[in-house]
Chains A and B, each alone.
Chain A
Amino acid sequence: MLPGIVRSSSRHLPCRRSLTKWMSVRNLAAASGDQMTVRDALNSAIDEEMAADPKVFVMGEEVGEYQGAYKVTKGLLQKYGPDRVLDTPITEAGFTGIGVGAAFQGLKPIVEFMTFNFAMQAIDHIINSAAKTYYMSGGQISVPIVFRGPNGAAAGVGAQHSQCFAAWYGSCPGLKVVTPYSAEDARGLLKAAIRDPDPVVFLENELLYGENFPVSSQVRDPNFTLPIGKAKVEREGTDVTITAFSKMVGFALKAADELAKDGIKAEVINLRSIRPLDRETINASVRKTYRLVAVEEGWPQHGVCAEVCASVQEESFDYLDAPIERISGADIPMPYAANLERLALPQIEDIVRAAKRACYRSK
């Protein structure tokens, strides 16, 4: 049960700034118990977009016969055939570049990386030939490609499989970077990403794939999309703003529950989009609560939270009643031992502690 979504505010559908129209619809969804896993959300999004547009195709390792390394592309090979669901050899640089070259021609590839760690072997193409080409060509050649796959830590997969790349891709102009949390995010953002004429880095999370989220019938509509670049206020509050993305949104919501017991009403913002970053929503929230806790799983230095902090201190300095709190993963390669891994990642109690520090720092 995820209370956040049901009780979230008028900011639920970000493209309409102030409305309450959807409240009743969402309550209906939750009440009817219509749920969807993130995996199914992604699968259905890809399926529908492939059905609607023959130029969309999927390529990556194990996406076809294996049904997807994490089963996200399950059933697609059977439905669309090997011409549109391509099992590639283990050649990230090569097949990513091929995807980019195909996108130069107006095809719409969805390139799956088994994890974004492997995308480092292809990062030359993501940055140099995908992100920069529209600019370098003076506006001639756009690159409607989606790079997707799991990002960040899983469970016990060690240092080379656990890095969060949101900050690296988020710093690059020419890329759009999105980080869905719920099934609704996954569906809406992936559809928007596939339809988008620019390269989109779509950072999923392996541990969220199996999680169930309530979805409304609107979310199930084949034309449901969410705008890229808009954050969502998952839970309204008045005392402290907590920003998070991907898996940390769930932690932040649980932390908000804990804080509520102590009379602190936290506002939880699901960033949804790292680039463009929705500075307006973040700042509007801080101007309301006067305190900020920024949360991410990745490394602290030059992280996403660093950018959030910079944005808030630049635009809402006078509104801050306390120094901004930053919760991020430990500044180390991910250890393997389970207890060490737990210590290396933000936990709910860390967020709670930080929020309380932010609240008690006021005079």
Chain B
Amino acid sequence: MAASSLASRAVASLSPSISTGASRDDAGSSSVVGFHKRSSAFTGRRVRISSGHGSSAAHGRRSCVVAATAAPVKESPPKIADIELVTREEGLELYEDMILGRCFEDMCAQMYYRSKMFGFVHLYNGQEAVSTGFVKALKKDDYICSTYRDHVHALSKGVPARQVMSELFGKATGCCRGQGGSMHMFSKEHRLLGGFAFIGEGIPVATGAAFNTKYSREVLKDLSVDAVTLAFFGDGTCNNGQFFECLNMAALWKLPIVYVVENNLWAIGMDHFRATSVPEIWKKGEAFGMPGVHVDGMDVLKVREVAKEAIARARRGDGPTLVECETYRYRGHSLADPDELRKPEQKNKYAVRDPIAAFKKYLLENGLASEADLKAIEKKIDEIVEDAVEFADASPLPPRSQLLENVFADPRGFGIGPDGKYRCEDPAFTAGTAEV
């Protein structure tokens, strides 16, 4: 409960210029955390927030008139000044993570144009608040599953920058030994389940990881497993059949998962409003019996508050949540995209809402960090990214012998056991009376 009232506070404190009565334009949507009416998990003050939009424009965001659920019995709400949305340590951590994401992606662009990386590379510039806000609210054991725009998710989750850069360079020291590439980042250690090129493909896989948590607890009776899974995907994916299939099954079976929509309004060159009959993606949660929440994805603190609630809800066993993060990518769909269809007005509108600049301002204004602190972080990240490039550059290419490896976990595909013999000849394998 406190979180949601905090979240509505977050509106006022972080971005006072974008609040009620915002002007109607392309990008101006409600920057308020919206709570679905039916969600009992997100209780808070009854807040009716209108962003002042009139009828829905063809190109503008529809207004999200949302209401929180019934108010708890509470005295006067705490004053803004009394609430610390984030501690200094947390703030610096979030800032560092966002700077890492931005710096790394900028370096990727440079390296791509120098032919150090190749193929399809999809950069995350502008969307850092979503990755940082959500992933930094997770525990180490939690899972995330992403799409092809996965570099920053990997970094936020803890995959070392060196490994990600090497993977992009196609070197043997990459997180997937050079076999995955930009679009297929996997890390067993850091619980990153990919990295998928087909949109929508990661959603069922993530739902399966959540299923594992439930199965481990209920069937295998292992209550130490309480991992929550986050599935990241975009607006285009929300028209795909698998999305709906999984919303249904996750709600049906009450799986511990949060579906995070990174709505950046564009699916390559397809405008979200040209492709979608009901553009408010958060509304689709209700059709499947789960809370649908809309949040300003350019504001890391708002994202973080919603993330914490949704993750807590999943961990409690109350089931899935659909969170739509309104965000924007500053670069094209990929480095090969000429990005001709997006209007400069729209780009500028979001450029001024740069999540990193906004958070920097917040930290400085609230005395959580000094210019020197932030500069030190930026310098540190520069060094990390440069080191990653040097490391990747110096790393060897995968050896020829690696070509045919890792096709099967069972190396020769003939049912060979770890000792190199046929499993069927291993006396321990057939522990009964059969001699096979």
**Which residues of A pack against B, CB within 8 Å?**
13, 15, 54-55, 57, 83-84, 88-89, 91, 93-107, 124-125, 128-129, 133-144, 173-174, 176, 188, 192, 195-198, 218, 221-230, 275-276
Q: Which residues of B contact A173 (CB under 8 A)?
A: 407
Complex contact A15–B422 (CB within 8 A): yes
Task: Return chain B residues, CB-CB under 8 Å to A54.
Answer: 219-220
Enumerate 16 A-B pairs (CB-CB under 8 Å) in ascending A order: A15-B424, A84-B219, A93-B204, A94-B241, A94-B245, A97-B201, A97-B246, A98-B204, A101-B205, A101-B208, A128-B201, A133-B194, A197-B410, A198-B408, A226-B424, A276-B413
A105 to B415, CA, bound (A): 21
Taken together as a complex, chains A and B put the C-alpha atoms of A173 and B415 apart, in Å, by 16
Please give, as numbers and ranges, the residues of chain B lying within 8 Å of A196 by CB-CB distance: 410, 415
- The 3 nearest A-B residue pairs measured at CB: A101-B208, A97-B204, A94-B245
Q: Hey, what's the 0/1 contact readout for B396-418 against A, CB within 8 Å counting as 1?
A: 00000000011111101111000
Q: Which of B179, B207, B242 has the most CB of A within 10 A?
A: B242
Across the two chains, which residue of chain B brings its CB closest to A52?
Answer: B431
Closest Cβ–Cβ distance, residue B142 to chain A (whole Å): 12
Report yes or no: B242 in contact with A94, Cβ–Cβ below 8 A.
yes
Which single residue of chain A is at the shortest CB-CB distance from B176?
Answer: A138
| 8 more CB-based (< 8 A) A-B contacts, given A89-B245, A197-B410, A223-B432 | A100-B205, A101-B209, A101-B210, A135-B406, A195-B423, A196-B410, A228-B415, A229-B415
A104 touches B193 (CB 8 A): yes
Cβ contact within 8 Å between A129 and B205: yes
Judge whether B211 and A98 touch: CB under 8 Å: yes
Contacts of A230 in B (CB 8 A): 414
> For A276, what are the chain B residues with a Cβ–Cβ distance below 8 Å?
412-414
B176 near A227 with CB under 8 A, answer no
Structural contact, B195 and A225, CB atoms closer than 8 A: no
Contacting residues, chain B, for A15 (C-beta < 8 A):
422, 424-425, 436
Contact B209 A229 (CB under 8 A): no
Which of A125, A133, A230 has most B Cβ within 10 Å?
A133
What 0/1 readout, one digit per residue, does chain B (238-260) give for beta carbons within 8 Å of chain A?
00011001101100100000000
Query: In the assembled complex, which residues on chain A have CB atoms less than 8 Å from the CB atom of B415?
Result: 192, 196, 225, 227-229
Contacting residue for B179 out of A88, A136, A195, CB 8 A: A136
Q: Does B102 contact A (CB under 8 A)?
A: no
Question: Is B178 located at the chain interface by the 8 A CB criterion?
Answer: yes
Instruction: Return the chain B residue nearest A222 by Cβ.
Output: B432
Alpha-carbon distance A363/B422, docked complex (angstroms) = 43
In angstroms, how far is the closest chain A Cβ from the Cβ of B112? Answer: 20
**Complex contacts, B413 vs chain A, CB 8 Å:** 176, 198, 228-229, 275-276
